[in-house]
Structure 1
Amino acid sequence: MKKIYFLIALFCTVLLHSQERYFLNSDTRLYTSPNTSSAFLGYFRYGAEVRLLSESQNGWYKVQADNFNEGYIQEKFAATRLNAKDVKIKDAENPILEGGDAYYGGNHLFVLVAGLKARALPDKNSKIKEILFTGDPVAVDYVPVNEDDWVNINGNFDEEYARYTLRKFIGLRPNFETLIKDFDNLDVNAVSERKTLSERIVELAWNSEYSKLEPAYQRYYEVVKQINDPKLIAETEMNMALAKGLAKHKLPEQIIAFTKKAEFSLKGTKTKSLYLSQTELVKTFGKPAKKANVGDECGIYLSDLFYYYPDLEVSVDEKKNQAEIVKVYINENNKFIINPNTILDNSVSEKAFIEKYGTYIEASLKSPHNYSIIMEDSQFRLVFKDGKLFSVEIFFYC
């Protein structure tokens, strides 16, 4: 009977610990046994969360790291909360970078490969939650020694947020010039290696300054021509034009002046601004197909009430007889007039737009075929589909 009571008490104690959150108030390592002279599985950085798996035994806890590695840490390093007065013991061999650099505010490492699949579980067959690019910073609080072990790159036990990749795919931020040099030294016939490296160079360029895009795409284009894929060649040529424009990016005041008189032509009627009356809206488009209230915590729209038409979305204040254009689908009826000399309709190709206005736009590798043009308190977001202008949305800053 005493044995049963003991087991119940132990179970309750472990359960209690599992429900509490414990954090490490110093750098430490995950040891295979309760002894600092023993082998260790990985490194923790200050602030890492762990799960306690046992009561303290001679000043040691058995714990689980956020990638499910299990081992031992000293009791003195586990706390239910962090404190500004914590005396952090630094581990000079710990590869995890601390926050405060130009890329990330917390403990982190960087993605080393192109198109990295971040998974829901530490299993190569689990769901892909996100695709990451070379040079992306990722949150890391615990990193295993084994290069083929998994790392939680969100530092979170919560299944909703946790993401995993293999240790060998993350590390110190790659150096752009080094990658360029490595590419240039490859045998020209080593197409597979050149493709892999040029993809990393392009992704890292997007995670750097716009000025790096041109030399990156020049090398990628060399490989694309070797592969001789017409679709990939056309896409790369467009990206090279984009890189050229972004390298000569206009100053913010020049861009704002460019968009100052922007308006739409809706069914042949110019809006004269981004606003019109509700009466004018209904007269031109009729009753909306749908009305709905949207959550607007920032108060950025004219009203929470939205009118939805097949080719238009508008924020409407019915009491004040006001309407504010939020999104326009560009078609044979609707045009986007940035200024009197710049009229964009559904015949405008993506490549032609980039070649002519690439110095005014912002772009991202993570949102291909999407471009933004800043205004004083908002920005236009232009989306292209199948090579043609599809929609223009006004995105207001919160």
Structure 2
Amino acid sequence: MKTLVQALLICFTLQASAQSPTLYTSKPTEAYKDKAATQKAGIFISNAHLSYYEKINKRLVQVDRDYESPLYIVDTQNLKEYYTEDAPEAPTPIIEMDEYYGSPHLFTTVAGLKVREYPSSTASVLGTVLIGTAVPIEFYPYYKDAWVPISYNDGYGYIAAQYLGERPVMSELIQAYKATSDVSEQRKYAERILELGWNSEDAATQKAIQFYIDFANKQDETEKVALLKLQLEAIKAMPKEGDTSKVSKLIRKRQFGFALNEKIEPIDGFDIDWIHTYIGYPLDESANLEDCALGDYEGNSYFNSAEFITHDLDHTYKVRKMDMINKNGFIIDNQLMEQYTTEQVFLKLAKGLITLIEPLTHTYYIAVDDVLYSFEFYNNELLRIELIYYC
């Protein structure tokens, strides 16, 4: 199953302080750690964007980077103010393009690779990325302790360059697993197999999950096995792409939607007095013209534990996001879910409705027409539900 994480890892431009115009490398161009060009730092691919730089002289350009020392380019004849068509391909080991990504990239090669806030092993961990995730590369560092910037959660972070390379092959990981009898080594490979499965097409996903179930059973990891079995069942029962008929039917029967004090959201939204009683009063309101989910006369109203789309003329309040606390909830097939609903309970209720699973964040998605419902869990409790609009 291909995850959102991979789709969100887009090309990141090295930056520090703005200067124009943007320069582009017309061919792969080496950069140095020092102005004297005695220590090679790495290589820029063709058409790498250099937006933040300083021209020291005709034969030396300093490229500035956030949180890291600047780089220096002496082959300044390679720097152009325009994109070069048919430029030379990226140097080895960078992969030019393949079935997974359409521009120069490498892949993460270990499970649970940490994304750091800054390029340091002591920096805060923002999260992790799955093994086999494509990472766009504009600059490939030569030194082992280097870091590579990536787009992450609407911002960016850093991952260790030493864990980037060719995409791992499932069959090779399975072979490595079978070649060792050491349980810790088996676990390492089993985790890589599972993560690579989550980052693959459905058939490989199912195979990897079953493989890990077999391993976890031997280790008496009953809770892990129980969750994986339910996730595997959910994948097998996923509706065909574009088929949202089951969810639509539940919505028409008033058996699917946000709930407040066990009352499902009316078609026209909750009454404001009902909201005041069980959620409180708005903390802020806004009308973002760039928010494609908003129509004419609509805006967002932010409460302590929920966000509503409001209509100025009709005075309606429709839920857009809801934290699962107090009287907040969600109904699926007449069953109320609230804060203490577990992933296992949700997976049983939503079987046949779930269209996507994000394993790292324990988030599940249900598509219907032009929207997507996300169900996020934390510590095996339902944390938040959000309505995401396709636009």
TM-score between the two structures when normalised by the length of structure 1: 0.73
Partner SS for 2:244: helix
Partner SS for 1:373: strand
Deviates more, 1:69-78 or 1:102-111: 69-78
Distance across 1 between alignment mates of 2:302 and 2:156: 38
| CA displacement at 1:27 relative to structure 2 | 1.8
Partner in structure 2 of residue 89 of structure 1 = 88
Partner in structure 1 of residue 128 of structure 2 = 131
Distance across 2 between alignment mates of 1:216 and 1:281: 48
Q: Cα–Cα, structure 1 residues 128 and 73, in superposed 2: closer, same or farther, change >3 Å?
A: farther
Partner in structure 1 of residue 364 of structure 2 = 371
Partner SS for 1:379: strand
| CA displacement at 1:171 relative to structure 2 | 1.0
Q: Does 1:394 align with 2:387?
A: yes
Partner SS for 2:303: strand
Alignment of 1:194-209 (within 5 A): 194-209=186-201
Q: How many residues align?
A: 357
Q: Cα–Cα, structure 1 residues 163 and 300, in superposed 2: closer, same or farther, change >3 Å?
A: closer
Partner in structure 2 of residue 354 of structure 1 = 347
Distance across 1 between alignment mates of 2:324 and 2:160: 44
- Counterpart amino acid of residue 60 in structure 2: Y
The answer on whether the counterparts of 2:279 and 2:303 sit within 8 Å (CA) in structure 1 is yes
The answer on whether the counterparts of 1:242 and 1:358 sit within 8 Å (CA) in structure 2 is no
The answer on whether the counterparts of 1:49 and 1:65 sit within 8 Å (CA) in structure 2 is no
Partner in structure 2 of residue 243 of structure 1 = 232
The answer on whether the counterparts of 2:119 and 2:159 sit within 8 Å (CA) in structure 1 is yes
Partner in structure 1 of residue 3 of structure 2 = none
Partner in structure 1 of residue 314 of structure 2 = 320
Distance across 1 between alignment mates of 2:62 and 2:313: 61
Structure with greater Cα Rg: 1
Deviates more, 1:134-143 or 1:214-223: 214-223
Partner in structure 2 of residue 115 of structure 1 = 112
Distance across 2 between alignment mates of 1:396 and 1:334: 21
Distance across 1 between alignment mates of 2:261 and 2:223: 33
Q: Cα–Cα, structure 1 residues 306 and 214, in superposed 2: closer, same or farther, change >3 Å?
A: same
Runs of 4+ in 1 over 6 A off after TM superposition: 31-34
Alignment of 1:15-94 (within 5 A): 19=19, 21-30=22-31, 42-49=42-49, 51=53, 54-56=56-58, 60-61=59-60, 68=69, 70=71, 73-79=74-80, 81-83=81-83, 85-86=84-85, 88-90=87-89, 93-94=91-92
The answer on whether the counterparts of 2:23 and 2:82 sit within 8 Å (CA) in structure 1 is no
Q: Cα–Cα, structure 1 residues 134 and 295, in superposed 2: closer, same or farther, change >3 Å?
A: farther
Distance across 2 between alignment mates of 1:386 and 1:64: 43
- Counterpart amino acid of residue 146 in structure 2: W
Task: Give unpaired runs (5+ residues) of structure 1.
Answer: 1-16
Q: Cα–Cα, structure 1 residues 206 and 65, in superposed 2: closer, same or farther, change >3 Å?
A: farther
Higher helix proportion (structure 1 or 2)? 1
What whole-Å deviation, never above 9, does each CA across 1:79-108 have from its counterpart, x for those lacking one? 2x223x5452346x532223x544334332
1:306 aligned residue (298, 301, 305): 301
Whose RCO is larger (CA < 8 A, sep 6+)? 2
Task: Give unpaired runs (5+ residues) of structure 2.
Answer: 1-16
| CA displacement at 1:209 relative to structure 2 | 1.5
The answer on whether the counterparts of 2:25 and 2:46 sit within 8 Å (CA) in structure 1 is yes
